[in-house]
Chains A and B, each alone.
Chain A
Amino acid sequence: MRNLWLLLSKYNAFFLFIIFFAISITLLVRNNSFQRSGVLNSSNQFIGEAYSRINKFQSYLNLAKVNDSLAAENARLRNQMKNSFFDDSIEQKTVKDTVARQQYVYIVARVVNNSVHQKDNYLTINRGKRHGITKGMGVISSSGIVGIVKDVSNNFATITSLLNNDTKISASISESHAFGSLVWGEGNYNPQTALLQDIPNHIIIKRGQHVITSGYSTLFPANLQIGTIIGVRNKGGESFPDIVVKLNTDFSTLQYVYVIRNVFALEKESIEAHSKNNE
C-alpha cells in the first residue's frame, strides 16, 4: 500500500494528466454532437467497411450457388414463354375435288434447325410422325425444293438438305425437257448453286433456262421450280457437262417448309419394283 502511495506521488503528474484528460474527453464526447456522432460514425464506418469486405469474399464463395439459382430461374421463365410450347396444330391443305383425285398433300412445318456451311447439311423441322410425316418424303419451300426427309421422331423430323452430298433429285430443263439429276457438292460448296448432271451433250443449254422437277420420282410433283442455269462447266473427256444452277431457295433464311405426302407413292413404287424384278 505504501509503495502504491509512493508510486502515485512520484508520478502524480502523469496520473493527474490521465484523470483530467479522461474528464475532458468524456465532456467532449458527451456534450458535442459532432464529436459524438464522430465516435459513432467512425465505429460505424469501420464496422460497415469490415462487413462490406467480408461480403465481397462471401459473394465469391456463393457465386456458384447464385449462378445455379439464376440458371434455374432462367429455365423457369423460359418455360413460361410462348415459343417453348409445342405448336400442335396441323395444317394440311386437302383439296376436295371430285374430278381429279388429289395426289399430293402438303404439311406445313417450321424449320427449327438449319445449316448451310457444312459439307453435308441437314435441317430439322417441328413436325414428325404424329403429323403424318414418314421417311423419304420431299420437302419444298415457297420458292423451291429443300430436301428429303431423312429421319422421323414423334414430333420432329430431320431433312437431308439439297446441300448434301447424298441428295440426288430428278430435275429437268423446262425449255428442252431434257432430264438429269441435281446434286450438290463435288467441288461446289456454294449454298446458292447446285449442279445438274447427266444432261446429254446434244442438248443446247443457254443461260437463264429454268430447271424444274421432273416428276419422275415419287418425292416431288412435276414442274416445281428449282432454279435457273447460270453456266456450264465442261469436264474434259466426259460426255455429260456439269450445268451450274442457281437455286431459287435461299437456304440460309429458310423459315417455313412444306412436306409433301404423295398419296400414290406406295402404289407407284410397288409397280416399279415389280417391273424391275421381272427383268
Chain B
Amino acid sequence: MSRIIITNLIRFVALIFIQAFLLKNIGYYSLATPFIYILFILLLPFETPNWLLFTLAFLTGLTVDAFYDTAGINAAACTVLAFVRTIFINITVQRQGFENEPEPKLGIMGFRWFFFYTIVLTLFHHLTLIFLEAFSFSELKYILIRFILCSAFTVFLILISEFIFFRKKER
C-alpha cells in the first residue's frame, strides 16, 4: 500500500517537473504543446476511490495551473479526465480483475487497451483544455488544429514513456 503511494508521489513530482520545466518550453509554435502530466491520473490504481481520484485530479490540474498561470483551466480539464476515466474503466474492465491488475499500465493491460484508454482520455482532456483556453468559437479552425496536434503529441509522448518504463506482467 505504502509502495503504491510512494510510487505515485514520485511519479507526480517527476511528471509535474517535466511538464513545468521542460515541456512548457517545447512546442510546435502554439499549435502542438504536449500535456504529459495527465499520465499521473491515467496511471492511478483501479482501486482508487472516486472522491480521492477526483481530488487528486483536481489538485494535479491546479498544480499545473499554478505553473502555467492559468487558474482553473487544467483543473477543469483534469476533472473531466477523471470523470471519463471512471466511465471508461467501468465499461471495459471487470471488477473481479482488480486483484491481478492493480494499475492501468501498458505492461499489465496490453498495448491495445492502453492505446485506446490513452487516446480517449487525452482527447477529452485536451478538448476541455483547449476550448476553455480559447473561450470562444470564433477561431474554430485554429482550435481544432491545435486540438488534434496537441492530442497526437501527448499520446505519442505517453506511449513512449510507457514503453521506456515497460514491465512485463509479473505473476
A21 lies within 8 A of chain B by Cβ: yes
**Complex: A27 Cα to B69 Cα, angstroms:** 12
**Complex: A34 Cα to B75 Cα, angstroms:** 17
When the two chains form their complex, are residues A35 and B86 in contact, meaning their CB atoms are under 8 A apart?
no
Q: What count of chain A residues pass the 8 Å CB interface test?
A: 22
**Complex: A185 Cα to B66 Cα, angstroms:** 100
A132 lies within 8 A of chain B by Cβ: no
Please tell me which one of the listed residues A13, A19, A26, A30 contacts residue B87 in the complex, with CB atoms under 8 A apart. A13
Q: What count of chain B residues pass the 8 Å CB interface test?
A: 25
When the two chains form their complex, are residues A25 and B82 in contact, meaning their CB atoms are under 8 A apart?
no
A28 lies within 8 A of chain B by Cβ: yes
When the two chains form their complex, are residues B79 and A17 in contact, meaning their CB atoms are under 8 A apart?
yes
**Complex: A13 Cα to B81 Cα, angstroms:** 12
B18 lies within 8 A of chain A by Cβ: no
Question: What is the 8 Å Cβ interface bit string for chain A, positions 37-60, against chain B (1 contact, 0 not)?
Answer: 010001000000000000000000
Please tell me which one of the listed residues B71, B72, B83 contacts residue A14 in the complex, with CB atoms under 8 A apart. B83
Majority secondary structure of chain A interface residues (helix, strand, loop or mixed):
helix
When the two chains form their complex, are residues A28 and B79 in contact, meaning their CB atoms are under 8 A apart?
no
When the two chains form their complex, are residues A25 and B54 in contact, meaning their CB atoms are under 8 A apart?
no
Question: What is the 8 Å Cβ interface bit string for chain B, positions 79-93, against chain A (1 contact, 0 not)?
Answer: 110110011000000
Assuming the A-B contacts A28-B76, A31-B72, A32-B71, are A23 and B54 also in contact, with contact meaning beta carbons closer than 8 angstroms in the complex?
no
When the two chains form their complex, are residues B54 and A17 in contact, meaning their CB atoms are under 8 A apart?
yes
When the two chains form their complex, are residues A24 and B61 in contact, meaning their CB atoms are under 8 A apart?
yes
Which residues of B are found within 8 Å of A38, using beta-carbon distances?
135-136
When the two chains form their complex, are residues B86 and A13 in contact, meaning their CB atoms are under 8 A apart?
yes
When the two chains form their complex, are residues A16 and B71 in contact, meaning their CB atoms are under 8 A apart?
no
| CB closest residue in chain A, given B134 | A38
Chain A interface (Cβ within 8 Å of chain B)? 12-14, 16-17, 19-21, 23-32, 34-35, 38, 42
Closest 7 pairs between A and B when the two form their complex, measured CB to CB: A28-B72, A24-B76, A27-B72, A31-B71, A17-B83, A24-B75, A16-B54
